[in-house]
Structure 1
Amino acid sequence: MKVLFVPHANRAHLHIMAPLAWALRTAGHEVRIASQPEIADAIMAAGFVPTEVGQVRTAMPDFYPGRRADEAQPIVMAPGDRQEMPLQQDLSRDGALEKLSRASWGFALFSTEAMIADLVDLIRAWQPDLVLWDSMVYAAPVAAKVCGVAQARIMMGPDAITQLRQATRDEGDPLRDWLAPVLEGYGSRFDEDVAVGQWSIDPMPPWQWRPEGPHFVPIRPIPFNPPARIPDWLRQPQERPRVCLTLGESHRNGRGTEAPTSDLLDAVSGIDAEVIATFNAKQLATVDRLPSNVRVVDFVPLSVLLPTCSAVVHHGGAGTFSTALDCAVPQLIIPGTHWGFQWWGPVAHANGLQQQGAGRFVADADHLTKEALAEDLALVLKDPSFRENSERLRREITGVPTPNDIIPVLEKLTREYGAGPTTS
């Protein structure tokens, strides 16, 4: 069969999709990847020929569901105070309709009319049997619906869209309000499959919270890195424990939503460990002096670095989270600013890790103190149960079907749901 992948214009999201794309390709299926021009080079680096749709975005929108004007400044914590860990299931407790409205507005910026039109033209010309789409890119299910092609989401975090839509069922549906007129313009109609996919491929671990309702097909996340060389220092014997400090690929533009680099470096300066900080020049612009125990590298593949680490401190992104799980490394999570982090996944990741005894929710970027991070890092490095539980979770995740394992499932579901062309 022919399978069209539609990732968000974000390299980290593409890397989550890439192992499944290659599993389909090596199983003999034809695969294309269509996205906005920003990640064309990344698609080529992953081994595929990109098909560009839509236009280059000149800037990312200021998109944080539920943000209010009075939340724009960091919160000053009293000495010794710690932020209580929020819960993913509480995202819809207050202001669910406002959060869903902001989410729908943001998704519309990611899925422009031009991108939808390009995808419709591509699907009509190439006639794929299945469209697999990043859970943030609604241009894909709209185009698939217009063309009568089977389609499924690939989750990039918790299913917050379902969570919020279930909570606002009696108040309204901003997602429908946006997409229904678009579909009507093509002579089609909105239905639930457009909102949540005909099914959802879910690389999140089985113990992570998710709403009831959608058809989830579990898949084991496989770490995927862009082309890189292993640095010489990583081949040398370690003299003391190593800690990775990273904000991932999605937080390298310094948009002010992540924890300040200077605060993170200050917090790790006193620990007896070698800290590998994957920061670029922009992230280091406000740093006057590096602590003596910190080595800064612009990029190093986490799948190579993390097996040498005793802990990883990060923002809670799906790629870093999954790679750390695969490497059995205890995780300390510091999500971005508190007005949006339950949407993207860090809170759900932190909830599960802390409940499983394999990590800690330190604080979000607004509530972070260097004392909190230093305290949690010392605890994780000292207490062997964090490593033991991380190793247990790794053993459990190996039992989840791999991308190769789910190919027959995708073939079966495509036959069941496909109403359009079947040219393979």
Structure 2
Amino acid sequence: MRILFVAHGPAHVPWIVPLAWASRLAGHEVRVAARPQSVARVTAAGLIAVPIGDSAAGDAFIRRTAPLTGERPKRLPATWPSGPLGWSEERRLHWSDQVLGLADSLADDMVDFARFWRPDLVVYDVGAVVGLVAAAAVGVPALAHSWCQPLGLYFLHEDEVPPTYPRLFERFGAEPRIGTDTWIDCTPPALHTPHPVPRIPMRYVPYNGPGEVPDWLREEPKRPRICVTGGITTSTVDDFGRQLLDEAAEVDADVVMAVTRPEAFDGLTLPGNVRLTGWVPLGALLPTCSGLVQHGGAGSTMTALAYGVPQLVVPDGTDTPQSLCADQVARSGTGIHLTPAERARPGALAAALGDLLTQAEYARRAGVVSEEIAAMPPAAEVVSLLEQRAAHATDSQPTSTAK
């Protein structure tokens, strides 16, 4: 069968790679629709990319700081987004406007390709609502692919729907899909948050992009090794990385700064226990590490957990997806959440790292969650479910629709 995957952004591409390749290895045709910013990451994974949308138009929606339309649903869903974020009504409405505005800018390209290629099934990133629109336009089932956070846009009741949402579907002659859907979810039990949408569990397989194993990584570390990263796209690490350089000498460990922008630290003096490497795939580096310092990226968080590595999460805000990851890590006992206010104290990073390395409970809990992940169903089993969903397309339609 033909499976159309839809990626949201560059940092989200790695989430769909394992299932996309499992689908290919099962003999299915796969295409990955992606914004121009994400195409290179798709092709680097050996998958066929379908560019959709205009780079500048998409970025314009993402950068908006006020709601785009001013339109409001009759009732704001308590589950949108759910979990411990505690976002204000305006914050949630703005986030929804961003997601829907981005979908609007991509929809023509997305539906045109879907009508040309005629997929049997669409698997879309929970942030890429345009995938659901394309599936409705060609009359095939769709499943969302979560990235371990309950932040996808979904509506359980018609009075929760802002006017912009049904218009996305209606302009292609399709009925809006409203109601409980199904999400493919790699979240291990220890990190679960309450969620009304049924989820299909799938084992998280770390994929952090291509790379090489440097010679120094083959050497057995003589003391604990700490990885510092800001993920594959964020510059958040530039800020807390400079603070860490000031405090690293206080930490009895070797610190590897595996960052995508090493030039951000040009001219700074590196302490003797710090190595500035540029990007190294976390799947190669983390198995040799005793700890991770990161910004709260879902991929960084889950890769560390998959390898049983405790972590110090340093998000740059208190109402962001990154702060949600930090909360998940702290609640699961697998690491420490250092808030912006806490990080501002002199010596705070060094002290938190000392706790991470010396309090054995963090490593023990990280090991337990690693075992939870290993026990989850592999991607190959989920491909079988995709096959069943495509074969019984009628049964996979949403429970309700709006006209």
Partner in structure 2 of residue 34 of structure 1:
33
Q: Alpha-carbon deviation of 1:297?
A: 1.1
Partner in structure 1 of residue 52 of structure 2:
53
- State the alpha-carbon separation in 1 of the partners of residues 55 and 342 from structure 2: 31
Check the 8 A contact 2:127/2:153 in 1, yes or no.
no
Q: 1:356 is matched by which residue type in structure 2?
A: S
Q: 2:47 is matched by which residue type in structure 1?
A: F
- State the alpha-carbon separation in 2 of the partners of residues 266 and 363 from structure 1: 18
Partner in structure 2 of residue 134 of structure 1:
125
Alignment of 1:82-97 (within 5 A): 89-92=83-86, 95=88, 97=89
Q: Percent identity?
A: 30
Structure 1 residues 210, 26: CA separation in 2 closer, same or farther (over 3 Å shift)? same
2:169 to 183, 188, 192: 183
1:148-167 Cα shifts (integer Å, max 9, x gaps) = 1111111124213569x68x
1:127-146 Cα shifts (integer Å, max 9, x gaps) = 11111111111111112112
Partner in structure 1 of residue 326 of structure 2:
350
Check the 8 A contact 1:333/1:362 in 2, yes or no.
yes
Q: 1:209 is matched by which residue type in structure 2?
A: H
SS in structure 2 at match of 1:217:
strand
- State the alpha-carbon separation in 2 of the partners of residues 22 and 161 from structure 1: 23
Partner in structure 1 of residue 382 of structure 2:
406
Structure 1 residues 25, 307: CA separation in 2 closer, same or farther (over 3 Å shift)? same
Alignment of 1:4-403 (within 5 A): 4-10=4-10, 12-57=11-56, 59=59, 61-62=62-63, 89-92=83-86, 95=88, 97-113=89-105, 115-161=106-152, 173=160, 176-193=162-179, 198-252=181-235, 259-281=239-261, 284-285=264-265, 288-338=268-318, 340-341=319-320, 344=321, 346-364=322-340, 368-403=344-379
Q: Alpha-carbon deviation of 1:280?
A: 4.0
Structure 1 residues 222, 376: CA separation in 2 closer, same or farther (over 3 Å shift)? same
Check the 8 A contact 1:45/1:227 in 2, yes or no.
yes
Check the 8 A contact 1:124/1:147 in 2, yes or no.
yes
Q: 1:124 is matched by which residue type in structure 2?
A: R
SS in structure 2 at match of 1:188:
coil
Q: Let me know the Cα RMSD of the aligned residues.
A: 2.8
Q: 1:18 is matched by which residue type in structure 2?
A: V
- State the alpha-carbon separation in 1 of the partners of residues 350 and 275 from structure 2: 18
Partner in structure 1 of residue 76 of structure 2:
none
Name structure 1 gaps, 5 residues minimum.
67-87
Check the 8 A contact 2:262/2:278 in 1, yes or no.
no
Q: Which has the higher contact order (CA 8 A, sep 6+)?
A: 1
- State the alpha-carbon separation in 1 of the partners of residues 199 and 189 from structure 2: 11
Q: Alpha-carbon deviation of 1:3?
A: 0.3
Check the 8 A contact 1:65/1:103 in 2, yes or no.
no
Q: 1:3 is matched by which residue type in structure 2?
A: I
SS in structure 1 at match of 2:264:
coil
Name structure 2 gaps, 5 residues minimum.
68-81, 397-403
- State the alpha-carbon separation in 2 of the partners of residues 20 and 65 from structure 1: 35
SS in structure 2 at match of 1:284:
helix
Check the 8 A contact 2:85/2:324 in 1, yes or no.
no
Q: Alpha-carbon deviation of 1:49?
A: 1.9
Q: Alpha-carbon deviation of 1:258?
A: 7.2
Check the 8 A contact 1:129/1:418 in 2, yes or no.
no
Structure 1 residues 21, 128: CA separation in 2 closer, same or farther (over 3 Å shift)? same
- State the alpha-carbon separation in 2 of the partners of residues 38 and 62 from structure 1: 15
